[in-house]
Amino acid sequence: MGRYDLALVGFGGVNRALAELISHKEDHLAKELGLALRVVAITDLRAGSLVDIEGIDLTPLLAVEPGELSFAGLAGGSADPRNEWVIREVPADIVVEATFTNPIDGEPAFSHVRWALESGKHVCTTNKGPVALAGRALKRLAAERSVSFEFEGSVLSGTPVLRTAGRMFGGLDITGVQGIMNGTSNYILGRLEEGIELSAALAEAQELGYAEADPTADIEGHDVQLKVMILANEVLGADLRREDVFCEGISAITPQEVRDATSKGLRWKLVGSATRHEDGRVDARVAPLALPAHHPLAGISGPVNAVAFHTDLLGTVTVCGPGAGRVETAYALLSDIIAIHQRHADRDTAATRPVLKETHRG
């Protein structure tokens, strides 16, 4: 049985959902994977910080509404988040980073990840900022400290596109990727097809929980821009910066344009794409496109996301699934933790495996 102590950085919807998964799936994880998880620290901008190295009882915390939760009156609790102290000093095996995405410099998540790796702790995160803007440096730091840096949920939430490309596409040459990577914009474009004005479709998306109070990152394409950077850098071997990726959102598209496209058998989609050329150069962009019905992304509707990988031997392989949702995103974190467990369990097994000696006749 492998047991891992977790420090949760951020206790909003995603890490709360992860705490729920840990509570509800405890027996399943132990039986099926030989995995035991214990939360020993939580930090949150609003709630403060809570530390118990013997393991935090999650049940009473999950019973409190998020906006009403405070750690100040609890044993081991404080009104101060104390992020750096918790990340560096509390004896946790894995730091789970799930704070808001900053597309400009990745802070404060970048520092959270760096502090954890510098302290010799594994990290998993759903935060696009550090991965897109500093992924190469953070992966190098993780390798230097012999720890893992996992970020499956940074592209399509719980749908495993990075792990699929990394583990299932061995022997294939991936020459490009195209994707619908933002459920909010995809939902809104679908409503525009039905004649709804952009403002009304956006209000619906916010009411349904697909869009944030400030939907700029979704509507103007910045969210997809970061995801394209991650895909291009991880799958195509690029080293893109934000200024390398042209970005145009959907705010200028009118319902009439959408209806006109539909009458011609076309569907507007906000598409992020990256292509590797023969000389190794990678071009990437985010822009609305009117796709023909036969295109692998044309039929993706509602808040669903998809990525099409263009390969040399299989042609186009498309992976689709939920690209948002607190439980779905929490599953991505759980899958990262499982990957960390399996990787290091394999290393331990390899280290103890007897070496076969070569024998010779003669």
Catalytic residues: 227
CA 59 to CA 13: how far, in whole Å? 15
Cis peptide before 108 (omega within 30 of 0): yes
Write down how long the chain is. 362
CA 185 to CA 187: how far, in whole Å? 5
**The amino acid at 143:** A
Task: Note the Cα 265 to chain centre separation in Å.
Answer: 33
For residues 161-193, one letter each, b for 16 or more C-beta atoms within 10 angstroms of the residue's C-beta and e for the rest, the string is: bbebbeeebeeeebebbbbbbbbbbbbbbbbbb
Helix, strand, coil percent values for the chain (each to nearest 5): 40, 20, 35
**The amino acid at 150:** E
Half-sphere exposure of residue 32, counting CA atoms within 13 Å on the CB side?
6
**The amino acid at 102:** N
Measuring CA to CA, which residue among 225, 219, 206, 283 is closest to residue 253? 219
Measuring CA to CA, which residue among 3, 5, 1, 2 is closest to residue 94? 5
Cβ within 8 Å of residue 67, ≥6 positions away: 46
